[in-house]
Amino acid sequence: MKLARRQFLHVAAATAAAAAMTPIAKAQPYPSRPVRIMVGFAAGGSADIIARLLAQWLSDRLGQQFVVENRPGAGTNIATQAVAEAVPDGYTLLLVTAANFINATLYERLNFNFIRDIAPVASLTREPSVVVVHPSVPAKSLAEFIAYTKTNPGKITMASGGNGAPSHVSGELFKMLAGVNMVHVPYRGAGPALTDLLGGQVQVYFTPMSAAIEYIRTGKLRALAVTTANRSEALPDVPTVSEFVPGYEASQWYGIGAPKNTGTEIITTLNREINAGLTDPKLKAQLAELGETTLGGSSAEFEKLIAEETEKWAKVVKFSGAKAD
Greater pLDDT, 41 or 197 = 197
Specify the pLDDT at position 321.
Answer: 82
pLDDT, one tens digit per residue, over 41-76 is 888 778 899 999 999 999 999 999 999 999 988 889
Mean pLDDT of 117-142: 96
3-state class of 132 per DSSP?
A: strand
Specify the pLDDT at position 69.
Answer: 97
pLDDT at 214 over 60: yes
pLDDT, one tens digit per residue, over 310-324 is 999 898 888 888 777
35-127+251-320 and 128-243: identical CATH topology: yes
Round to the nearest angstrom and report the end-to-end CA distance of the chain: 82
Name the percent of the chain in helix, strand, coil, to the closest 5: 50, 20, 35
Mean predicted lDDT score pLDDT of the chain? 89
Greater pLDDT, 266 or 192 = 266
Distance CA 72, CA 272 (A): 28
Q: 322 and 99 in contact (C-beta within 8 Å)? A: no
> Around Cβ 216, how many Cβ atoms within 10 Å?
18
Domain residue spans of the chain: 35-127+251-320, 128-243
Q: 224 and 145 in contact (C-beta within 8 Å)? A: yes
Architecture of domain 128-243: 3-Layer(aba) Sandwich (3.40)
Mean pLDDT of 89-102: 96
Specify the pLDDT at position 201.
Answer: 97
Kindly state which CATH superfamily the domain 35-127+251-320 is placed in: Bordetella uptake gene, domain 1 (3.40.190.150)
pLDDT at 170 over 70: yes
Mean pLDDT of 87-111: 94
Mean pLDDT of 199-208: 95
Greater pLDDT, 323 or 173 = 173
Upper half-sphere CA count for residue 142 (Cβ side, 13 Å): 23
